[in-house]
Amino acid sequence: MRATRLSIFIGADDRWRHKPLYHEIVRRAREAGLAGATVLTGIEGYGAASRIHTTRLLNLSEDLPVVVLIVDADERVRAFLPQLDELVEEGMVVLDEVEVVRYGKAE
């Protein structure tokens, strides 16, 4: 089955009304009825400012890279994009076509 993957690259310290931004994105994705969302924390990375964020002990950064992944039908994902316009002030949003292979039962 063809679908669209929405990848939202932000920082762990990014906030929406004093709560983690990734939490608000997941909450809104669920409210919008999207198929699912996963939040992944990176161990090292850099963004537009070229400042490296890492978990290495000698250079400990609290603002680690975070990626929120959402996969659903293209039209449903694109309908969710205006929500991100409101939420994401600094970050990167990527859309790519994927093929979904499902294992197990859907809840």
* Digit-coded pLDDT (tens) for 58-69: 555 567 899 999
For residue 25, name the pLDDT band (cuts at 50, 70, 90). Answer: very high
Q: What are the tens digits of pLDDT across the range 73-100?
A: 999 999 999 999 999 998 999 999 999 9
C-alpha span between 37 and 31 (Å, rounded): 11
Q: Please give the sequence-ordered ranges of beta strands (E in DSSP) within the chain, or none if there are none.
A: 2-11, 15-16, 19-20, 37-41, 44-45, 53-54, 65-72, 92-99
Q: Which residues contact 17 (CB under 8 A, 6 or more apart)?
A: 24
- Domain positions in the chain: 2-99
- CATH architecture group of domain 2-99: 2-Layer Sandwich (3.30)
Residue owning tokens 């994705």: 29
